[in-house]
Amino acid sequence: MNIFKNNYFTVIYIFLIIFGLFFNYFFLYFFLGLIFFVFFKKRNNYTYFIISIIFFTFVLFELIFKDKEFKSDYLTVNNIKYDIDKNYGYHPVKNQIFSEEIFYKKNLIKKNVYTIDEYGHRKVENKNKSKNCIIFHGGSITFGQSLSDNETLPYYTKILLSENYNVFNFAFNGYGPHQFLSKLENLNQKDINHCKKIIILYQFIYDHIGRTSGKRSWGDKSPRYVLNNNQLIQKGFFSDFPFKFVMKIRKNFRHSKVSNIFFNLQRVNQKDTEIYLSILKKIELVTKKNFLDTRFIYLVWNKNINNNVKLLDFFNNSESIFIDDLEIDDNVKYNNIPGDNHPKKEFNLIIANVLKKIIY
């Protein structure tokens, strides 16, 4: 007897499986186990019984090893608000000053100010319009998460280089190089149109490869770049159909212990690396086309990079500074706030001095 003989129940079964696939992996494992158990009861085939036991075991495994709620003595509270640009996606609301407070055991230990200018970038005070410009881009490390405006790497670089360079901070939390490329390709960047001699400074962490391939949950409203006949093109956002389905399934299974046994949803592959490197190369190409004199400096957090030959080859053949080679104390590299661990202001000052020696 076929349990799917009734069309009404068939629709219900399909709906429940789709619901489990996109929204609740616990439910999916349980329902698949139940279906195969019914198959076993109807057909007396022990293969179905074994399969049903496997899925029920998955449910128990997930329940036993479910992620426990993370508790920390630290608490960070901020009022940052976001907006969506049709080309490069999410960004902090323009022309705003946001505040942040960090508590340890309910005691206030630090206050931060995030000033966002009229272009949606973290403000760096440029008192004149020098034609020599340094543009920083990247993620939260460059943006200066958990640091005030006067503690970021772009800020210290501006201070050390005095009035010889205008400095701009195009980075933001959760960004990779794809947002910067989209800005270069789609926007009339009035804040840097006066620049003639350009230094593009990008701070790399390995997670950026996953961000440019849509393998991070927070990056759905980010530009999606694909290779089409070896040509890199922007194809909407990761949240656009049909890729939205892929993002939804990944988000559902990201915390599943079972799924991570069989495959790692966070892991990047060779295709992801090729897209990532194509983005970096196109940034160089577009910048050289738009400005008279260009230079590219890469700050590389080289953890895990030795396992990626193509990536290592690119940075070795570029003007790169490998952070690990500088032998900076970990207590300066990381703020040691659980769930945060961004660099301290002292780290940014060290790197700014390194950049000063290289740029001059």
Single out the residue of 32, 6, 4, 7 nearest to residue 18, CA to CA. Answer: 32
Whole-angstrom distance, CA of residue 278 vs CA of residue 280: 5
pLDDT digits (tens, 9 = 90+) for 231-240: 999 999 999 9
* Residue 5, pLDDT score: 57
pLDDT tens digits, one per residue of 57-91: 999 999 888 877 677 899 999 999 999 999 999 99
User: Is residue 4 predicted with pLDDT exceeding 60?
Assistant: no
**In a 3-state reduction of DSSP, which class is residue 319?**
strand
Residues 141 and 19 in one domain: no
- 15 inside domain: yes
Task: Look at the alpha carbons of 63, 67, 72, 76 in this order and tell me if their dihedral is positive or negative.
Answer: negative
Co-location of 31 and 168 in the same domain: no
Record the pTM. Answer: 0.91
| Helices marked H in 162-318 | 177-186, 207-212, 243-253, 257-262, 270-290, 309-316
pLDDT surpassing 70 at residue 46: yes
Q: Which of 40, 64, 88 is the last residue of a domain?
A: 64
> Tens digits of per-residue pLDDT, 163-190?
889 999 999 999 999 999 999 999 877 8
- Across 323-335, average pLDDT: 93
Contact status, residue 180 vs residue 137, Cβ threshold 8 Å: yes
Separation of alpha carbons 143 and 90, rounded Å: 14
137 and 281, same structural domain?
A: yes
Weakest-pLDDT range from 21-30, 171-180, 276-285: 21-30
Read off the amino acid at residue 113: V
Interstrand relation of 107-116 and 96-104 (parallel, antiparallel or unpaired): antiparallel
Number of domains in the chain: 2
Instruction: Kindly state whether residue 96 falls inside one of the protein's structural domains.
Output: no
Sheet holding 74-78, edge to edge: 74-78, 96-104, 107-116
**Could you tell me if 42 and 126 lie in one domain?**
no
Whether residue 145 is predicted with pLDDT greater than 90 in this model: the reply is: yes
**Most confident of the ranges 172-186, 188-202, 325-339:** 172-186
For residues 159 and 251, membership in a common domain is answered with yes
Q: Strand pairing of 319-322 and 74-78? A: unpaired
For residue 129, the enclosing domain spans 121-359
* Closest of 133, 290, 145 to residue 201, by C-alpha: 133
Average pLDDT of the chain to the nearest whole number: 92
Q: Calculate mean pLDDT across residues 252-257.
A: 88
Last residue of a domain, one of 39, 64, 89: 64
> Domain boundary at 64, 90, 109, which?
64
154 and 235 fall within a common domain: yes
Domain check: are 266 and 353 in the same one? yes
For residue 1, the model assigns a pLDDT of 45
Identify the band that residue 42 occupies on the pLDDT scale cut at 50, 70 and 90.
confident
Residue 258 included in any domain: yes
Contacts of 47 (CB under 8 A, 6+ apart): none
- Mean per-residue pLDDT for 267-291? 95
Distance (Å, whole) CA 288 – CA 49: 64
Q: Are strands 231-237 and 223-228 parallel, antiparallel or unpaired?
A: antiparallel
73 occurs within a structural domain = no
